[in-house]
Chain A
Amino acid sequence: MTTHSNIDDSTKDILKHSLLELTDPRFHETTMKKIMRVSRRRRLFDNIYLGSLIFIAIDTLIALALWMTHLNIVDVAFHFVNVPEKLIPPTEQLEKIILSNGFLQYSFLIFAVLMAALLFIESKFHGFEKPKQRGN
């Protein structure tokens, strides 16, 4: 009578011959190349993402500073503005100043476009490649 563990051992012994080996000598190399490519793309994506976040943060800080100091960037750039005079009492409505700066709108627009582009790149390159069809 064969015991359960004996059957297991015999089966293991028989099945050890069923291990298959990859015959393509370049398998390791090509797989590593693909992995390195994925890694480089991911790093690029991460850097762009981080860069855009820093850009937005700085942009927001500038906008906030302008809002707090009641400065209109368009006025400063194209007209003579006496900055100290501007900083003293708020003579204009704050909301109007922010809107007229257009700076926030600009940054959000850039951000939206940038994010859309990144999402497109991400889905195009980070998505799983469709395996090539080969004949049997």
Chain B
Amino acid sequence: MDDLYLRLVLEGNVSKFSYFIEKYKNMAFSIAFRIVENREDAEEIVQDAFLKAFRSLEKFRRDAKFSTWLYRIVVNSALSRRRSKQPKPSMIDVDDAADAVVEDVESAYRHLAAVEQQQMIHQALNELNVEDRLLLTLYYLNENSVDEIAEITDITQGNIKMKLHRARTKMYSILHKNLKSEAGSLL
């Protein structure tokens, strides 16, 4: 479907670019927000990314997915925006969590209401460093493959697998800690 709309836009039917905005805006926004941690900045980054994508559409190589290419633009823009502001230090250093923790967290998490689940996951992601947040978002939320993540982030595939494992472990540890303190009876 993307290819069809891409062709239409390149043929001069510019209004068809609307399709890409509608389809990718929320995911692009989620990625940008996980990096810059600010809604306004993330919105501007996403808008700029769509403009950049449109301007460079003719240079887009069809061997990659449009979304991969767009997210790469978003990631690069967000990282440079973040660099231009005061960098935030990594907030937490968590030891490896055992499988038991994953199970505990999962079952406790299910007992929470949807809104609480949302708050809990946002809080946990905020406590992770940018790279961990980004990798978890791309792999688990957007379901990008390791190859695609490598293309988006410029991190080698081997490194991605290792970092993903660490990030996930950290996230579970944070969730475990937060669930314990906020809903102690559930754990």
Contact = CB atoms under 8 A, between A and B. Distances in A.
Contact of A8 (B15, B125, B140): B140
Interface residues of A, number: 37
Nearest to A13: B106
B141 A31 contact: no
A131 B14 contact: no
A20 B102 contact: no
Interface residues of B, number: 49
Contacts of B150: none
B75 interface: no
Contact of A17 (B33, B117, B137, B171): B117
Interface stretch (B16-24, B60-68, B151-159): B16-24
Nearest to B168: A11
B52 A136 contact: no
Interface of A: 1-2, 7-8, 10-24, 27-28, 30-32, 34-36, 38-39, 126, 128-129, 131-132, 134-136
A8 B159 CA distance: 18
28 contacts: A1-B99, A8-B140, A11-B168, A11-B171, A12-B140, A14-B109, A14-B117, A14-B175, A15-B140, A17-B114, A17-B121, A18-B122, A18-B141, A19-B27, A20-B29, A22-B43, A23-B39, A27-B46, A28-B21, A28-B25, A32-B17, A32-B21, A34-B51, A131-B44, A132-B44, A134-B44, A136-B40, A136-B41
In this complex, which of B38, B137, B140 has the most chain A Cβ atoms within 10 angstroms of its Cβ?
Answer: B140
Contacts of A18: 30, 118, 121-122, 125, 137, 141
A39 B9 CA distance: 10
Contact of B168 (A7, A21, A23, A31): A7
Contacts of A23: 39
A60 B51 CA distance: 39
A36 B45 CA distance: 18
Contact of B137 (A7, A13, A15, A38): A15
Contacts of B99: 1-2, 7
Given A1-B99, A15-B140, A38-B55, A27 B44 contact: no
Contacts of A13: 106
B163 to A, nearest CB: 14
